[in-house]
Structure 1
Amino acid sequence: MIRQHIFTIILLIPFALLAQKNSMDIEQFVNNVDKKTPQLLRGFNVPGAVIGIIENGEIILQRGYGYSNVDKETHVTTSTGFNIGSISKTVTAWGVMKLVQEGKIDLDAPAEKYLTRWHLPKSDFDSKEVTVRRLLSHTAGLSLHGYPGWAPNDILPTIEESLNGKNNGPGRVEVVVEPGTKWKYSGGGFTILQLIIEEVTGERFENYMQTEILNPLGMINSSYTIDEKILNSSSLEYNNFGEEIDFELFTAKAAAGLHTTLEDFMLFVQASLYKSENNKSYQHILSTDYVKQMMTPEPETNGVYGLGYQVEIFGDSKVLKGHGGANSGWHALFMVDSISNDGFIMFTNGGAGYNIYSQIICYWEHWKSGKKIYDDCKSLPSISNKIKQIIDIDGTNNLNKAYFELKQNQLDKYNFSEEQLNQLGYYYLGKGEIENSIAVFKLNVEAFPKSYNVYDSYGEALLKGNYRDMAVENYIKSLELNSDNYNAIEILNKIGAKKH
């Protein structure tokens, strides 16, 4: 199972409301970011990034770093295009809330009220409890966490086909948990919202978002439609090992398909600062009350999610609101403090970009709080790069021995988390190198025998290698460790295997 990152940085310190920084403090901080960012890009094989920072409503940093095209040595600028993954959901939520504000959608009405082209599959739960509010807050009890993209030459399915399961792997969207009882992240829920927008407005989703949200905000170089204009200004995308990969397209545009630039997205962040005295100069789309409501966590989420906005918490204090995003080759994050009118944005064009933005936002948090030591912000390079070098040179015969020796002797040099090997396993799986993939996933099972996810991934590779019986054993083991692993349940049902 591929785990898609939802932004979950644990705040190390309270984001205190301090006096605004003076010009010397700001200059020193910006210089520090300018120095650190290129070092991090090189260390994690990420070609390029953009960073935007707002202090008390004013932009203090808006800059590109590294390359958008490594071969041509084209530099990233503030007008370079990036896919921002699940941050697309936050902008989509503005589109939904505009229709709520206009009285065309009722937040607490069943989603089915607005659907004619597709309907929720029958389940053990009442589909009327799947409301618009619950779709926005991921409390509707739906399946389908996230979406893989489609290759440039693929014929994309329709929204209805995608919801029915023609979506490159994740399966159909259905109710699997009683709606309104718990927070369960579902990109599929935002595809339902995409369809609702089309049903209510009579327009294509991407056209509605362009005319009603993006253009009014001044985001004229942003779009849910990937056309010639967008492609010409876009960065290329690169995997965890710095290799160029195909540009992905999405039917699930509302959940994952927005392409934007730093210059454009700064406008959206400024629009999100609803308490700023200058807010009305940035947006007339939503009232302050609606924006505030979107950033207020819904009760069933245990304080982590509002209506399209994630909420980061320290103790009992709500601190930052925003969203993270990740698609193949892209990582992105934005967060705002709506009380102090501060904001942070970072987009990267590499598969390891999460490691970089997590450090830079940590520097920002420390700076805002007055903390001078940044050592606890450091992330280690992935062990997957080292393991790939070993496989490329020596194959997989002595892979396990090499890995555990490294783990014993160089634990402080690399990140040995299970996600690192999982990423390498899926790298080989995507390239069709099944045996290498199986070897890496098998190693991950030995390294993390209590993780349900590693057995799930190992089972996936074994199934693709036609080792059916071994695949079944690993899927069953995954379920023993996590009975809510719906992916394993679905696969076992699909291949007609018994769950002991």
Structure 2
Amino acid sequence: MDQKFVFRLILLFVFTIAFSSCHKEETQIKTLLGTSVSKERVDAFIDEQMQALNMPGLSIAIINEGEVVYHRVKGYANKERQILADSTTLFEGASISKSVFGFFAMTFVEEGLLDLDKPLYEYLPNPAIEHDERYKKITARIVLSHRSGFPNWRDDYPEKELFIQFEPGTAYHYSGEGYQYLAEVLKHLLNTNWAGLEAEFQKRVAIPFGLEHTVFIKNDYTRKYKAQPYDVDGNWIDKSKSEWWTSRDSVFVAPTTIHSEAIDFSKWMIAMMQEEGLSEEGFAELYRPHSEIVSGLLQEDYTLGFTRLSVLGLSELYTHSGNNDGFSSYFAFDKEKEWGFVVFTNSSRLGDQFAQNLTYRLLLSGSVPKLSAIVLCTLFTALLLITNLILVFFKSRRRGIRFANLRIGLLALSCCLLSLVLMLTGHSGIVNYLYGFGVLLTVYWGWNVLGQIRANWREERSARIELCVQCFLLAGVLFSGVAVGLLEQG
């Protein structure tokens, strides 16, 4: 390889870095693992999923490094009247209310108005469960981590009476009733009504974080711009016929009645990532796991309002899903990377399914082909290393080729491992530059090795089967490595 070729290769590499960095800043979205996916691909995925799941409308925002880098509203707010959803359309957030309410409750703890470990009955007795003395053990901490023993909702049972299923604090059982009891306590502490508690939420949470239209109790604006609800088959749901919903129309239902949209809600998510609004100790308490849900490779716990997902303790996601009649939602964020997304839909249960598909098929790593290319590159690199290591130590002829391939294998393996490590950190942008530099050196050395292999082939200085294996493994490293780079642009 002459000096002119090397110089041109370096110039091409520098130009590519400069162009790709500018291009990616405008069109690329970072995945959780640090790879990139184009906004066009996300658009296409949303279109495909909305059609496949028969979802009427959707509002989504994706956050990279503490900023919204993607926002889209699609579909219908009202199918019957053909009213399109737009940036003003509001959705019921359902159970993602619990995470916001958990933070809201912690502001009372910070001020000394609420003690997480003081029995709630000492603040406000609950006549509906006074017949069971065990309820006197229930605290705010127990309620927020779903360990009260209450059912989700008493109305789910024929007797429609509140009861306790197990000794409070000893097990996990998801319960909206517990959250609502705590809301009653907060209302009592403020000596106010439900509208007063809503006003306090606006004062403590919505206004400080710039949430313009996020409410627990509907107001005139909410009623005007709220999307219509639909079931999983796309049929309209008349919620005015539901006694459960009509009886709570003006109630601050802590576990389920938040109304919002993607941009508004993402402001609160960013504040949670950057730990604004509470002390360091307050956030440590909010995020600390209290209830184990699933153990193993993927650890799932419940904190004081969030589901916490952890993979081998290396990366933590704080999430919550929500499902009401005609509405569903989901959010997830990694506070260390300041990465996350939120989805609102006006369809029963489909929002959660859509979010899971979006996460595992696209936003986790970019794509299955991308991961496949990384695996192939690592596999070919490992085989190249092992093969040449064996040949270097056990065969004396033509060590030059084997040492060269060994260097290439070590470089490629280092690039693969370094990229994967950097993908799990909050500073993953450097991956693109290190990867490009690694490819440049690998191509340079690879070209020289191929020249040596051709010379040995002509002069029959090595066994041809050995040369074929060397060529195959070297080509595998180069082509799979290039595939990783090409898929990075997708």
| TM, length-normalised to structure 1 | 0.61
Deviation at 1:22, TM superposition (A): 4.6
| Cross-structure match for 1:357 | 355
Change in Cα spacing, 1:138 to 1:51, as seen in structure 2 (3 Å) is same
SS of match in other structure, 2:74: strand
Contact 1:295–1:310 (CA under 8 A) maintained in structure 2: no
Contact 1:50–1:348 (CA under 8 A) maintained in structure 2: yes
2:52 & 2:280 partners in 1: Cα distance?
42
Deviation track 1:277-305 (CA, whole Å, cap 9, x = no partner) reads xx6xxx4x322332232122115656510
Change in Cα spacing, 1:40 to 1:105, as seen in structure 2 (3 Å) is same
2:70 & 2:109 partners in 1: Cα distance?
35
Question: Superposed, which structure 2 residues align to 1:67-466 within 5 Å?
Answer: 67-116=76-125, 118=127, 120-123=129-132, 126-143=134-151, 145-146=152-153, 171-203=160-192, 204=194, 205-247=197-239, 248-249=245-246, 250=248, 251=251, 253-274=253-274, 283=276, 285-298=277-290, 303-317=300-314, 319-351=316-348, 352-367=350-365, 372=370
Deviation at 1:190, TM superposition (A): 0.5
Change in Cα spacing, 1:253 to 1:235, as seen in structure 2 (3 Å) is same
1:295 & 1:308 partners in 2: Cα distance?
8
SS of match in other structure, 2:87: coil
| Cross-structure match for 1:405 | none
2:120 & 2:256 partners in 1: Cα distance?
20
2:303 & 2:189 partners in 1: Cα distance?
23
Contact 1:86–1:323 (CA under 8 A) maintained in structure 2: yes
Report the residue type matching 1:296 in the other structure. Answer: R
2:55 is aligned with 1:46: yes
2:65 & 2:76 partners in 1: Cα distance?
30
Deviation at 1:369, TM superposition (A): 8.8
SS of match in other structure, 1:241: coil
Deviation track 1:98-137 (CA, whole Å, cap 9, x = no partner) reads 11000011101101111046463322x6323211100010
| Cross-structure match for 1:154 | none
Report the residue type matching 1:265 in the other structure. Answer: F
2:55 & 2:93 partners in 1: Cα distance?
16
Contact 1:80–1:262 (CA under 8 A) maintained in structure 2: no
1:364 & 1:291 partners in 2: Cα distance?
30
Deviation track 1:69-89 (CA, whole Å, cap 9, x = no partner) reads 123332222331000101111
Deviation track 1:159-203 (CA, whole Å, cap 9, x = no partner) reads xxxxxx578968233322111111111110001011011011112
1:224 & 1:130 partners in 2: Cα distance?
24
Deviation at 1:368, TM superposition (A): 5.9
Question: What percentage of residue pairs aligned between the two structures are identical?
Answer: 25
Change in Cα spacing, 1:252 to 1:222, as seen in structure 2 (3 Å) is closer
Contact 2:55–2:345 (CA under 8 A) maintained in structure 1: yes
Report the residue type matching 1:362 in the other structure. Answer: Y
- How many corresponding residue pairs? 327
Contact 1:120–1:127 (CA under 8 A) maintained in structure 2: yes
Contact 1:50–1:63 (CA under 8 A) maintained in structure 2: yes
Contact 1:62–1:78 (CA under 8 A) maintained in structure 2: no
Report the residue type matching 2:77 in the other structure. Answer: S
Change in Cα spacing, 1:265 to 1:208, as seen in structure 2 (3 Å) is same
| Cross-structure match for 2:15 | none
Change in Cα spacing, 1:370 to 1:270, as seen in structure 2 (3 Å) is farther
Change in Cα spacing, 1:32 to 1:368, as seen in structure 2 (3 Å) is closer
Q: Which moved more, 1:165-174 or 1:306-315?
A: 165-174
2:311 & 2:228 partners in 1: Cα distance?
36
1:304 & 1:272 partners in 2: Cα distance?
18
| TM, length-normalised to structure 2 | 0.62
- Unpaired runs of at least 5, structure 1: 1-20, 147-164, 375-500
1:22 & 1:371 partners in 2: Cα distance?
20
Contact 2:361–2:367 (CA under 8 A) maintained in structure 1: no
Deviation track 1:302-329 (CA, whole Å, cap 9, x = no partner) reads 6510001111232444521021100011
Deviation at 1:92, TM superposition (A): 1.1
1:200 & 1:167 partners in 2: Cα distance?
29
- Unpaired runs of at least 5, structure 2: 1-22, 30-35, 240-244, 295-299, 373-490
Report the residue type matching 1:198 in the other structure. Answer: K
Contact 1:48–1:64 (CA under 8 A) maintained in structure 2: yes
Change in Cα spacing, 1:354 to 1:301, as seen in structure 2 (3 Å) is closer
Contact 1:366–1:372 (CA under 8 A) maintained in structure 2: no
Tell me which protein shows more helix as a share of its residues: 2
1:289 & 1:122 partners in 2: Cα distance?
36
SS of match in other structure, 2:278: coil
Deviation track 1:255-285 (CA, whole Å, cap 9, x = no partner) reads 11111122210111111103xxxx6xxx4x3
Report the residue type matching 2:135 in the other structure. Answer: S
2:367 & 2:301 partners in 1: Cα distance?
22
Deviation at 1:355, TM superposition (A): 2.4
Contact 2:90–2:260 (CA under 8 A) maintained in structure 1: yes
1:291 & 1:77 partners in 2: Cα distance?
34
Change in Cα spacing, 1:244 to 1:315, as seen in structure 2 (3 Å) is same
